[in-house]
Amino acid sequence: MNLAHILEPHDADSIALISRGRETTYGELRSQIDRLRGGLASIGVTAGDRVALLCSNSRHFVITYFAAVGLGAVAVPLNPLSPAPALEKEIASVGAKVVVVEKVSTATWSNVDRSLLPTVEIVLSTDGENAPEGACSIDELLDADAVGIVDVSNEATAVLIFTSGTAGLPRAAMLTHGNVLTNIAQSKATGVLTSDDLIWSVLPLFHIFGLNVVMATGLGVGATVMLVQRFDPHSAADSIKTRRATVVPGAPAMWAAFTHFDELPADSFTTVRVALSGASKLPVTVFAAMRDRFGVEIAEGYGLTETSATVTTSLGAPIRPGSVGRAFDGVEIRLVSGDHDALVGDVGEIWVRGANVFPGYFNDPIATAAVLTEDGWLKTGDMGMADDDGYMFIVDRAKDLIIVSGFNVYPAEVEEVLATHPEVAEVGVLGVPHPHTGEAVKAFVVLTPGSDVDEETLIEHSLDRLARYKCPSKIMFVDELPRNPTGKLVRRRLDDALSVS
């Protein structure tokens, strides 16, 4: 078994991808993947090797992803817009052998300190004329002789995806071929998505939602997946209408943006048969606005990177506003309150068990043990409740987790970066409501004596070291941070901290 087999059954002449205006049929896609698989094999890529992808939503991402996993290697999708220090840390932690650099990451890659990445043997560039120094052209590998798919066990790792997860700082979650194939099969079993669908998606492929729920599941059913680079509500609605998209997945921030754009006509989404929302809680007001103004009812789901994406879905069942739907077949859910399971209607921590649940974090048994029980339950840290019909409602989320436009941000990571500034003595971070992104990052900083660094300087300091969505949008300077008797920061009381006068 191998995840790459999902592309094989589909009509060779059907359109698999639309990317940057270019259509690629399933026959062309399979041929390109087979040849790149041969090219990767020719440069020494074998089963278990990690292949890091610094690619945007593009054909090159899809081809390289399936070529790597088809060899039994491990794909490692990374945010192509991450700054060099973040890439250095992530690539080093997984011991990547190959790094694929797309044009969007070429400048950043030139600032990466290669001495910190001793395992990286090969850099492949998709940008022929402007390839980074020392990089090889991926086009040369696409001319190689085709190599078939290597069968692997269901337990073999297919993907490493960085997530703040349920255990704190970003870690690489291991998803096996069996994990991903199970979740694809669960989505297909709803019977909602078909080979006739055109799936429009701006969701990034380095995120579990875009990677598995959209790209892999879409190709798994033989649909056409349209990969979109950037989002603004006007061009997005125009693209959806012009291309006659039938399935539109997105994070709540995207749906909110549509409702806030007064110039969109009421018939903007007449071709849309299925609208999906995930990554964070969809406000009921946004659901109602999309339904009342455009006639679109959004099906909400719930999942995590550690569950290969989705746990519950509203597909194939009546939608209940505010609910993330019911568990997929084959997925068990417990709501745990203290040392017992919560009663129906009561709140508990969401625990999940099933073949879609990951085996753990890469090279991190301590973090793995913190979230996985001996009998296979994943403790998500998210709080939820269920009604009599099994519909799930997310009440709260993992302690301290900030979700910005659907992306997980843990305060500890932002605090670590701000603390590297020489004029910062202490720092605490929390999430605050934001009308467009759901939440934003707010930092509370205690300066070293005699310092007078300003807010803009510290934000720029963060931008050099973190992805933009993780950076604080507001910094408050305070005299001291609230701590408990043992000295631990009490984040819920940060807003009560006294500002510097």
* pLDDT surpassing 50 at residue 305: yes
Shared domain check, 471 and 366: no
For residue 108, what pLDDT is reported?
93
For residue 284, what pLDDT is reported?
87
pLDDT digits (tens, 9 = 90+) for 244-303: 999 999 988 889 889 888 889 999 999 999 999 998 788 888 899 999 999 999 999 999
Examine the fold and report which residue of 358, 379, 396 is the final residue of a domain before the chain moves on. Answer: 396
The pTM of this model reads 0.86
When pLDDT is averaged across residues 359-375 and rounded to a whole number, the result is 96
Q: Is 304 helix (H, G, I), strand (E, B) or coil?
A: strand
- Measured between alpha carbons, how far is 208 from 63 in angstroms, rounded to an integer? 17
Shared domain check, 220 and 126: no
Shared domain check, 342 and 264: yes
Examine the fold and report which residue of 335, 367, 396 is the final residue of a domain before the chain moves on. Answer: 396
* pLDDT surpassing 80 at residue 499: no
- Measured between alpha carbons, how far is 269 from 240 in angstroms, rounded to an integer? 7
For residue 280, what pLDDT is reported?
78
pLDDT digits (tens, 9 = 90+) for 94-144: 999 999 999 999 999 999 999 999 999 999 999 877 788 888 999 999 999
**Mean pLDDT across the chain, nearest whole number?**
92
Residue 497, C-beta contacts closer than 8 angstroms, at least 6 positions apart: 428, 444, 476, 478, 479, 480, 481, 482
Shared domain check, 380 and 462: no
CATH label of the domain that carries residue 366: 3.40.50.12780
Shared domain check, 422 and 322: no
When pLDDT is averaged across residues 74-82 and rounded to a whole number, the result is 95
Shared domain check, 143 and 66: yes
pLDDT band at 370; cut points 50, 70, 90 = very high
Whether 221 is covered by a domain: the verdict is yes
* pLDDT surpassing 70 at residue 498: no
Shared domain check, 419 and 373: no
Examine the fold and report which residue of 338, 370, 396 is the final residue of a domain before the chain moves on. Answer: 396
Whether 346 is covered by a domain: the verdict is yes
- What backbone torsions phi and psi does residue 406 show, to the nearest 5 degrees? 90, -5
* pLDDT surpassing 50 at residue 486: no
CATH label of the domain that carries residue 409: 3.30.300.30
pLDDT digits (tens, 9 = 90+) for 427-473: 999 999 998 888 999 999 989 888 889 999 999 999 999 999 999 99
Whether 182 is covered by a domain: the verdict is no
For residue 488, what pLDDT is reported?
62
Shared domain check, 355 and 406: no
For residue 396, what pLDDT is reported?
61
Shared domain check, 474 and 425: yes
51 within 8 A of 77, measured Cβ to Cβ = no
Among 111-120, 162-171, 213-222, 223-232, the least confident range = 162-171
- Measured between alpha carbons, how far is 402 from 77 in angstroms, rounded to an integer? 22
* pLDDT surpassing 50 at residue 501: no
Within 404-463, residue ranges assigned H as helices are 411-418, 455-463
Q: Is 125 helix (H, G, I), strand (E, B) or coil?
A: strand
Residue 85: Cβ-neighbour burial (10 angstroms; 0-12, 13-18, 19+): middle
> For residue 408, which of 176, 199, 106, 171 has the smallest C-alpha distance?
171
User: Between 490 and 228, whose confidence is greater?
Assistant: 228
Domain residue limits at 286 = 198-396
Shared domain check, 435 and 335: no
Shared domain check, 205 and 109: no
> For residue 54, which of 9, 116, 110, 13 has the smallest C-alpha distance?
110
CATH label of the domain that carries residue 24: 3.40.50.980
Whether 143 is covered by a domain: the verdict is yes
Shared domain check, 242 and 125: no
pLDDT band at 487; cut points 50, 70, 90 = low
Within 305-393, residue ranges assigned H as helices are 365-371
135 within 8 A of 319, measured Cβ to Cβ = no
